Amino acid sequence: MVLSNKGASTWWTFAGSRANAAIAAALVRHGCHRVDHDNLSITMDRAFVTEELHSLIQAVRSEDGEELTVPVSDEALEQLKFSSCLPLHLATRLLELRLTDREAVQSSLAEQVHFVR
């Protein structure tokens, strides 16, 4: 369910923080300026018109769900054990895969979304 009111839109995915982080990152790539997430939901920076939200969600769904990952910070890379032994692109990919709940991402994106204003 996606609820839009009072200057924000909230997509209640119940997918968990790791899945919601990956979906939130994809929403940012598709034009949302500010997106927050927690274990239950993803909150976008403004109340979108239903058609805009539908287009955003469809754009995220059109991506390969296996490739939706959590963004990795420089700090996380520095804290990775043996990071100095790995090329940066491999260390980044390793953490992306570790930090993303790909099964929950796929499941959440496959769910029917209802829009409420």
Domain ranges of the chain: 2-116
Calpha distance 47→53 (Å, rounded): 9
**The pLDDT value given to residue 40:** 97
**The pLDDT value given to residue 6:** 78
Rounded to a whole number of angstroms, the distance between the first and last alpha carbons of the chain is 11
| pLDDT, one tens digit for every residue, the chain (117 residues) | 898 887 889 999 999 999 999 999 999 999 888 899 999 999 998 877 788 888 999 999 998 877 899 989 999 998 888 878 889 999 999 899 889 999 999 999 999 988 887
Residue that has been written with the tokens 């209802």 in this structure: 114
**The pLDDT value given to residue 58:** 93
